[in-house]
Structure 1
Amino acid sequence: MFLIYKRIAWNSKMDRVLKKTCLDVQDRYETQFLEIRSNKDHVHSLV
């Protein structure tokens, strides 16, 4: 029997840094992030 443990890899500070970085990229290039969502172990973005 194998036990797989998932640990939380994403925290609120990382979430804020990601969103700020995405907004900086958005301002620098001709693009728009329509949605940025994160969970404990992954991130979704709609560009």
Structure 2
Amino acid sequence: MERMNCAIKDATVKHFQDDDHQQFQTHLTDFVTASNFGRRLGV
């Protein structure tokens, strides 16, 4: 779980300077969608 939190933070907060909450929400939604359809890693 913590690995996913770090991945989300790296892909959104650390990478983009969002002007408002809506822009952040859009980036977060895009990341989660891409993550859900991306290649699955072994567990």
Q: TM-score range by the shorter chain?
A: 0.3 to 0.5
Which structure has more helix as a fraction of its residues?
2
Which structure has more strand as a fraction of its residues?
1
Q: TM-score, normalised by structure 1?
A: 0.42
Considering only CA atoms, is the larger Rg found in Structure 1 or Structure 2?
Answer: 1
Q: TM-score, normalised by structure 2?
A: 0.45
